[in-house]
Amino acid sequence: MQSAQSRVVSRIPLIPDKWLPYIFIGPALIALAAIMAYPMAYSFWLSLHRYDLLSPEKYIGLRNYRRIWVDDQVRNSLKVTLTFAIPVMTINLVLGFALALLIHHKARAKALWRMIFSLPILLTPVVIGLNWRVLLNYDFGIINYYLTQVGFDRQLFISDAGQAMPALILVDSWQTTSFVILVLVAGLAALPEDLFEAARVDGASIMQQIWSITIPLLKPLFLVIILFRSFELLRVFDIVWTLTRGGPGRATETFSFHIYARTFQSWQLGYGAGMSYVLFFISAAVSIVLIKLIGTGSEQDAGGGR
């Protein structure tokens, strides 16, 4: 009986361990590819056509992409996107790191502070944009009300071309810096304490410890944060739509918002699809570079550990 069972078991093919991950995630990847393949293929096909709902569909090849290259409005939207993304990223990293250090080293009720800083993340950008649009309103906004109470004039925060972008940057930073704080607080808690004790014994100051130990050890985490935030900042739309509507004029018209305007307001569907692919390739290029940097940093850390 036992010999018969052993013969049956021996006939069951054993799956090599290296194939198990692919077998488990394979069905999900196939389903995801099936869902995404047709829309992406159709949108690319659409980008090769002149399709604006006002004239017959016509194949024009890469003419839409050549038009994007020389379009001044596209260049302006890319400039606006960078004008928005770079300050927000800087505020996220600098302020987020500073507050994370403060919570990690000085705060007594760390769990309470983590809960407080997680509150903005729980709100959607649409809700945040609508609320701040009311708060910054010229006529009945509470911020303008308090400005008048202390002797200042009312400000056109979202109606003036010079103030709309700073207002948009500050509102987005108010929400997204919380993500950076929570990630870095977790990273600081995982750092080895013996390195800092050795540095203190050698007479290193707090700033020297931060610059020579904390920041290098957190470099992979910083790169991961930059990866996620850069992808979000390049395609930002919802908070722009709810807060400034891309205005005044084109002062806050980011690339994603410009794609929306061309596609669903001007009904230039083929041209909008082409711009969507340009945004996709820009985001993919940035992501690939950052992923390679993360991988290089991980390999260096592993080599240093050995």
Average pLDDT over residues 266-278: 92
Termini Cα distance of the chain? 52
Bridge partners, residue 276, by sequence: none
pTM: 0.84
Q: Name which residue leads in pLDDT, 149 or 2.
A: 149
Q: Would you give the distance in Å from CA 159 to the centre of its chain? A: 26
Give pLDDT, residue 107: 63
Can you tell me which residue has the tokens 């996107």? 81
Cβ neighbours, 10 Å, residue 141: 19
Say whether pLDDT at 177 is over 60: yes
Which CATH number does the domain 61-301 belong to among 1.10.3720.10, 3.10.180.10, 3.40.50.10860, 3.40.50.300? 1.10.3720.10
Per domain, the residue ranges of the chain are 61-301
Cβ pair 148, 138 in contact under 8 A: no
Average pLDDT over residues 43-69: 88
Q: Which of 101, 59, 264, 71 is nearest to 187 (CA)?
A: 101
Torsion of CA 46, 51, 52, 54, to 10 degrees: -150
For residue 28, is pLDDT > 80? Answer: yes
> What residue type is 174 in one-letter code?
W
Confidence check: pLDDT of 97 > 70: yes
How far is Cα 127 from Cα 241, in angstroms, rounded to an integer? 11
For the residues 214-230, what does the mean pLDDT come to?
A: 91
Task: Sort 149 into a burial class: Cβ within 10 Å, 0-12 / 13-18 / 19+.
Answer: exposed
Q: Omega of the bond prior to 248 within 30 degrees of 0, cis?
A: yes
pLDDT tens digits, one per residue of 102-138:
888 776 667 788 788 888 888 888 999 999 999 999 9
What is the phi-psi region of residue 152: left when phi exceeds 0, alpha when psi lies from -120 to 50, beta otherwise?
beta
Residue 155, helix vs strand vs coil: coil
Q: What is the pLDDT of residue 301?
A: 58
